[in-house]
Structure 1
């Protein structure tokens, strides 16, 4: 079920009313109702996917409790390894098997031999990368004694399948979300109304910005040979806004919906395109995944401690794994490798933590130094996004070769671009710049902004969505 669909428009208010007015007197019943609603939401695509998420939930619930009952370090480690093998094994089969089979065939062909590997005719289950990492956070934290295993199977299953963030995150830690299922939730009008504003802003970003950018991006990337370098740069810039508004729009909707039900999810985006270096960008982009890899992979490997060679190794591991997490394509691995190259000089010069505050904090405008830093960071990010968007590595290099040609200095020659949409992108940038120290772009101070002004703003945004909204499209990160 898509957030930007009529189905969800009907689904959400029904679940909301039943949740607060029918099941609210009994916490167990409320959690059971959320679990059922989440399974309906997830099974809307294909009910067969439910068996996989139920199996994964059951495995980690059982392993967590077995860990809690055991005092043996060896047994606990064996149980953790079992959890890793089951979860990553399922992810590997469904997401990466055909990729490795094809790569082996190409490697043998390159060496002059013939090798044919069988392919699996399977569909990638929606959201498997997200809920797999979410359940792994539970077993790893239980193993580390940072979290007590839960005995409440309904709460655990609801935690794994919580419908607002099930399909594309944020990837919640068990230590944050799971305890919220054990506490009585009380409806808070102010939190709920701010959640509605966040949902509205997320819908604007997805339906108006991302989906309209997709039309131009698809045309330019699919026919890049027909355009000059400046137009190809424009295509890369539009894709940067497409993927940001698509993914952060989903996160805004997920967080906003969760707040309607009394849950607090972690912030997943913090206005990343206002970053002054690539390290700051990665602290602000897909925060739930970046911090997951930091805590469960980077730090266990030694992090930024140890010799320089180990620091370099750890940086490349975390970025390459991050790229591979996104999909079974060499383009994502190259994208990760490129970001590691961007990050490396900052780490070696100990400058990866110099920009931890909000840019131009306390000022309306940034200074020239900050503007140049933001511009450079955005430009190299756009170059990396070209690999992310390309069909294959050859496509990406051909696109870049045409981009960095003499025609780079010509005016863009793409005639299909509607300048109204460029104006809407500029409006998005202006609003998010003004709100860059807030939780989301539509967070308002209701004490000094009058109700008529607020409602006028809401109506304008809704009208813009209705008038300029593009056809219903799936969120990009559903494929991951």
Structure 2
């Protein structure tokens, strides 16, 4: 069930009405409703994997209690590593077995040995990387005595499987979400209206920008040899905006839907393409994952403490693991390594926390220096996305080789992108408008959070109606959310 589907548009009002008008007097009934709705939502993808989700929930709920009740440290470690081992074992089998088996076979053949490993013909359960990390953070926090185990299986189950965040995040923490599930929620009209606005903005980003950019990005990346270097640059830019608007659009919809039910989820994006260096970019891109790796991997490894070698090692580990989390392909590892290379000079020169506040804060004009810093950081990011999008390292290198050819000096034309249902010039114009709207709202939780609040009511509603019309007018081929594959 996609967020941008008719089924979801029917699903939400039904759950909303039952939640606020039928079960609103009893918190337990509300949570049971959310749990049933979440399981139904997940079962719509593939009901067989619902049992894997439920098993994962039960495992971490049970081991969390055993960690807490164990008298000796050895007992706590046993239950912790049982949870970690089983969770990562499932993730490894479903997501990484074929990749490692194939890579090991290739390595042996390189040295003249013949080996054959049986590959598994299995489907990757949607959202497995996200709900696995939900459960792991829970048991880690119990082990570190940051929280005590949740007494209610229903409440814990809602924490892991709450449908807005179940398949593509944000990756929540028990310290943030569980208290909201455990306390009575009261309908807040203003919060609900704000949620609807964020849903609208998320749909605009996904349908109008991401899906249309995807059409041309796919066309170019699937046949790079057919296009000049200038068009390949355009393809990289199309994908750069596709993946941002696709994933942040999903996050906006998730946060907005959760707000309809009186729940606040963690913010996942904070205008990353306005970053002035790569360190700022990673504080603003997929925030819940970056902070998860920081808290549960980077800091335990020693973080930025220790000697130069330790800091370089830890940085590479965190970015390589982040790349591998995204998918079982060498291209994701290359993408992670490239971002580590970008990041390390800032870390070693202690300039990785230079830019904390939003650029041009309080409405001041952006400086020339900041402008070129943003352009440079955006260029580095767009270049790295080429590896992320490509099917193989070889394909990525060929794509880059095609960019840095004489044909980069040519002007990309609409004729070279014929065959699509949309006009590339129109999509570029819409993307420029989108950038300007994001810039205008860069100090808000989402770009249109406060847009039009001081306008006359007819003008404000005209603005919202324009977004709705744009969504229906520019909707093309429905595209699955990119991060569903991770």
Structures share fold, TM-score greater than 0.5: yes
On the 8 A contact 1:231/1:414 being kept in 2, the answer is: no
CA shift for structure 1 position 444: 1.5
* Superposition map of 1:13-412 within 5 A: 13-412=13-412
Number of residues of Structure 1 aligned to a counterpart in Structure 2? 480
SS in 2 for 1:443: coil
SS in 2 for 1:61: helix
Tell me the distance in 2 between the aligned counterparts of 1:454 and 1:329.
46
* CA offset digits 1:100-129 (Å, max 9, x no partner): 111111111111121110011110000000
User: Unaligned stretches of 5+ in structure 2?
Assistant: 418-422
Tell me the distance in 2 between the aligned counterparts of 1:418 and 1:277.
29
SS in 1 for 2:355: coil
Runs of 4+ in 1 over 3 A off after TM superposition: none
**Equivalent residue number for residue 420 of structure 2:** none
CA shift for structure 1 position 180: 1.1
* 1:112/1:387 CA distance change after superposition, 3 Å: same
User: Unaligned stretches of 5+ in structure 1?
Assistant: none
On the 8 A contact 2:212/2:476 being kept in 1, the answer is: yes
Tell me the distance in 2 between the aligned counterparts of 1:198 and 1:396.
35
CA shift for structure 1 position 414: 4.7
SS in 2 for 1:46: helix
SS in 2 for 1:292: helix
On the 8 A contact 1:228/1:413 being kept in 2, the answer is: no
Tell me the distance in 1 between the aligned counterparts of 2:460 and 2:88.
47
Tell me the distance in 1 between the aligned counterparts of 2:411 and 2:208.
26
Do residues 428 (structure 1) and 434 (structure 2) align?
A: yes
* 1:69/1:446 CA distance change after superposition, 3 Å: farther
**Equivalent residue number for residue 2 of structure 2:** 2
TM-score by length of structure 1 reads: 0.99
* CA offset digits 1:193-247 (Å, max 9, x no partner): 0110000000000011000011100111111111111111110011000000000
On the 8 A contact 1:230/1:410 being kept in 2, the answer is: yes
TM-score by length of structure 2 reads: 0.97
SS in 1 for 2:363: coil
**Equivalent residue number for residue 456 of structure 1:** 462
User: Which is further off, 440-449 or 154-163?
Assistant: 440-449
Question: CA RMSD of the aligned region, Å?
Answer: 1.0
SS in 2 for 1:324: helix
Tell me the distance in 2 between the aligned counterparts of 1:36 and 1:471.
31
CA shift for structure 1 position 373: 0.3
On the 8 A contact 2:414/2:425 being kept in 1, the answer is: no
Tell me the distance in 2 between the aligned counterparts of 1:365 and 1:428.
19
User: Which is further off, 422-431 or 358-367?
Assistant: 358-367
On the 8 A contact 1:279/1:352 being kept in 2, the answer is: yes
Match for residue 444 of structure 1 among 436, 440, 450: 450
Tell me the distance in 2 between the aligned counterparts of 1:446 and 1:472.
30
CA shift for structure 1 position 14: 0.3
On the 8 A contact 2:216/2:424 being kept in 1, the answer is: no
